[in-house]
Structure 1
Amino acid sequence: MTRAILLASTALLMAAPAAFAATGGPAGGQLALTRVLLSTGGVGYFEYEATVSGDADLSLEVRRDQVDDVLKSIVVYDDKGGVGTIALPGAEPLDTAFRELPFSADDLTSPATLLNAMRGAEVTTGGSRQLTGRLMSVTEETVRLPGNDGATTTRHRVTLMTGEGLRQLVLEEADALRFTDPAVQSQIDRALSAVAENARRERRRLTVHSRAPQGQEGGQGAGQAAGERRVRVGFVAEMPLWKATYRLSLGTGPGQNGQADKGSGALQGWAVLENLSGEDWRGVDLTVVSGNPVTLRQALYTPYFVERPEVPVEVLGRVLPSADEGAVTLNDARPAMRSQSEASRAGAPPAAAMAAPPPMPGAPAPAPMGDALAKVAPYGSAAGTPAMAAVRGAEAGAAEGAQVLFHYPQPVSVPNGGTLMMPIAASTLPVERVALYQPAADARHPLASLRLRNDGDTALPPGLLTFYDRGAANSAYVGDARMATLPAGESRLLSFAVDQAVTVDREEKPSRRLSRATIADGVLTLSVTDRQSMTYTVAGAPDADRDVVIEHPRRPGWELAEPAHAKPEATATAYRLPLAVPAGKTVTLTATLERPRQERIVLTDLTADQIAARASAPELPTEVRQALTTLAGLRAAVAEKERRIAELERERAERIADQDRLRENLKALPPGSDLHKRTLAKMAEAENRLDALARDLTTARNEAEAARQTLRERVKALAI
Structure 2
Amino acid sequence: MAISNPFKRWLARAAIAVAVGLGPMFLSAGSMSLSAQEKDKAADIPVKRVVMFSSGVAFFEHAGKVDGNASVDMKFNVKDINDLLKSMVLQDLGGGRISTVSYGSREPITRTLGTFSIDLTRNPTLGDLLQQIRGEQIEIDAPTKVTGTILGVETRKVPAGDQVVDEKFVNLLTADGLRSVSLGNVGRIKLSNAKLDAELRQALMVLAMGKDSEKKTVSLSFLGGGKRDVNIGYIQEAPIWKTSYRLVLSDDEKPFLQGWAIVENTTEADWDNVTLTLVSGRPISFVMDLYQPLYVNRPEVKPELYSSLRPRTYEQDLASADDEFRRAGEVQEKAKQLGDQMRRAPALAAAVPQAPGKPGDGYAFGANAGQAAKGEYRMDLQRGGQSVAQAGDVGEMFRYQIATPVKLQRSQSAMLPIVNESVAGDKVSIYNESQHAKHPLNGLKLKNTTDLHLMQGPITVFDDNAYAGDAQIQALQPGTERLISYAMDLDTEVAPSNKQDPQSLTTVRISKGTLYTSHKNVRTKSFLVKNSGKKSKKVLIEHPLQQPWTLVSPKEADEKTRDQYRFAVTAEPGKPATLDVKEEYTSNEQVAINNLDSNTIQYYLNATVVGEDVKKALREVITRKGVIAQAVAKRQELERQVTVIDQEQKRIRDNMAQLPKDSDLFRRYVTKFTQQEDTIEGLRTQITASLAEEQKLRQSLDTYLIGLELK
- TM-score, length-scaled by structure 2: 0.69
Q: Distance in 2 between matches of 1:563 and 1:69?
A: 58
Residues 622-661 of structure 1 mapped to structure 2, 5 A cutoff: 622-653=612-643, 655-656=645-646, 658-659=648-649
Q: Distance in 2 between matches of 1:510 and 1:85?
A: 79
| 1:406-447 CA-partner distances (Å, limit 9, x unpaired) | 232223233443332222211100110111111111122221
Q: Secondary structure at the match of 1:639?
A: helix
| 8 Å CA contact 1:461, 1:486 repeated in 2 | yes
- Following TM superposition, by how much is the alpha carbon of 1:242 offset from its aligned partner in structure 2, in angstroms? 2.8
Change (3 A) 1:121 1:681: closer
Residue 592 of structure 1: aligned partner: 582
Change (3 A) 1:651 1:91: farther
- Structure 2 counterpart of 1:434, one-letter code: V
Change (3 A) 1:106 1:517: closer
- Structure 2 counterpart of 1:284, one-letter code: V
| 8 Å CA contact 2:118, 2:200 repeated in 1 | no
- Structure 1 counterpart of 2:46, one-letter code: A
| 8 Å CA contact 2:63, 2:229 repeated in 1 | no
Change (3 A) 1:184 1:666: closer
Residue 244 of structure 1: aligned partner: 243
Change (3 A) 1:594 1:364: farther
- Structure 1 counterpart of 2:235, one-letter code: F
Aligned match for 2:509, one of 511, 518, 539? 518
Q: Distance in 2 between matches of 1:137 and 1:316?
A: 35
Q: Distance in 2 between matches of 1:114 and 1:584?
A: 90
Change (3 A) 1:282 1:655: farther
Residue 228 of structure 1: aligned partner: 228
Change (3 A) 1:240 1:657: farther
Residue 316 of structure 2: aligned partner: none
Question: Where do 5+ consecutive residues of structure 2 fail to align?
Answer: 1-30, 141-145, 155-169, 180-184, 311-380
| 8 Å CA contact 2:105, 2:293 repeated in 1 | no
- Structure 1 counterpart of 2:62, one-letter code: Y
Residue 218 of structure 2: aligned partner: 206
- Structure 1 counterpart of 2:542, one-letter code: E
Residue 572 (structure 2) pairs with residue 610 (structure 1): no
Aligned match for 2:462, one of 446, 468, 471? 468
Change (3 A) 1:446 1:664: same
- Following TM superposition, by how much is the alpha carbon of 1:523 offset from its aligned partner in structure 2, in angstroms? 2.7
- Structure 1 counterpart of 2:229, one-letter code: R
Question: Where do 5+ consecutive residues of structure 1 fail to align?
Answer: 1-20, 126-130, 141-155, 217-224, 254-262, 321-361, 379-386, 388-399
Identity %: 26
- Structure 1 counterpart of 2:507, one-letter code: R
- Structure 1 counterpart of 2:434, one-letter code: A
Q: Distance in 2 between matches of 1:570 and 1:537?
A: 21
Please, what is the CA RMSD of the aligned residues?
4.7
Larger Rg: 2
Residues 107-506 of structure 1 mapped to structure 2, 5 A cutoff: 200-209=212-221, 212=223, 225-226=225-226, 228-237=228-237, 239-253=238-252, 264-277=254-267, 279-307=269-297, 314-316=304-306, 365-366=384-385, 401-470=395-464, 475-506=465-496
Q: Distance in 2 between matches of 1:674 and 1:85?
A: 133
Q: Distance in 2 between matches of 1:252 and 1:55?
A: 68
Q: Secondary structure at the match of 1:228?
A: strand
Aligned match for 1:532, one of 514, 517, 523? 523
| 1:576-601 CA-partner distances (Å, limit 9, x unpaired) | 11222222212222222333453333
Q: Distance in 2 between matches of 1:622 and 1:110?
A: 97
| 1:8-60 CA-partner distances (Å, limit 9, x unpaired) | xxxxxxxxxxxxx9997555522433333333323333333453356655443
- Structure 2 counterpart of 1:408, one-letter code: I
| 8 Å CA contact 1:520, 1:719 repeated in 2 | yes
- Structure 1 counterpart of 2:234, one-letter code: G
- Structure 1 counterpart of 2:516, one-letter code: T
Residue 63 (structure 2) pairs with residue 42 (structure 1): no
| 1:199-233 CA-partner distances (Å, limit 9, x unpaired) | 755333334455x5xxx6xxxxxxxx445231313
Residue 588 (structure 2) pairs with residue 573 (structure 1): no
Aligned match for 1:33, one of 42, 47, 51? 47
- Following TM superposition, by how much is the alpha carbon of 1:270 offset from its aligned partner in structure 2, in angstroms? 1.4
Q: Distance in 1 between matches of 2:446 and 2:32?
A: 52
Q: Secondary structure at the match of 2:275?
A: strand
- Structure 2 counterpart of 1:234, one-letter code: Y
| 8 Å CA contact 1:39, 1:288 repeated in 2 | yes
Residue 680 (structure 2) pairs with residue 698 (structure 1): no
Change (3 A) 1:157 1:693: closer
Q: Secondary structure at the match of 1:556?
A: coil
Q: Distance in 1 between matches of 2:32 and 2:46?
A: 10
Residue 349 of structure 1: aligned partner: none
Q: Secondary structure at the match of 1:467?
A: strand
| 1:66-119 CA-partner distances (Å, limit 9, x unpaired) | 333334444444445566554433334766665554345689999999999777
| 1:517-545 CA-partner distances (Å, limit 9, x unpaired) | 32232233334443332222222335221
Residue 88 of structure 1: aligned partner: 103
Residue 547 of structure 2: aligned partner: 556
Residue 117 of structure 2: aligned partner: 102
Q: Secondary structure at the match of 2:710?
A: coil
Q: Distance in 2 between matches of 1:420 and 1:247?
A: 17
| 8 Å CA contact 2:90, 2:233 repeated in 1 | yes
Q: Distance in 2 between matches of 1:276 and 1:47?
A: 15
- Following TM superposition, by how much is the alpha carbon of 1:247 offset from its aligned partner in structure 2, in angstroms? 0.7
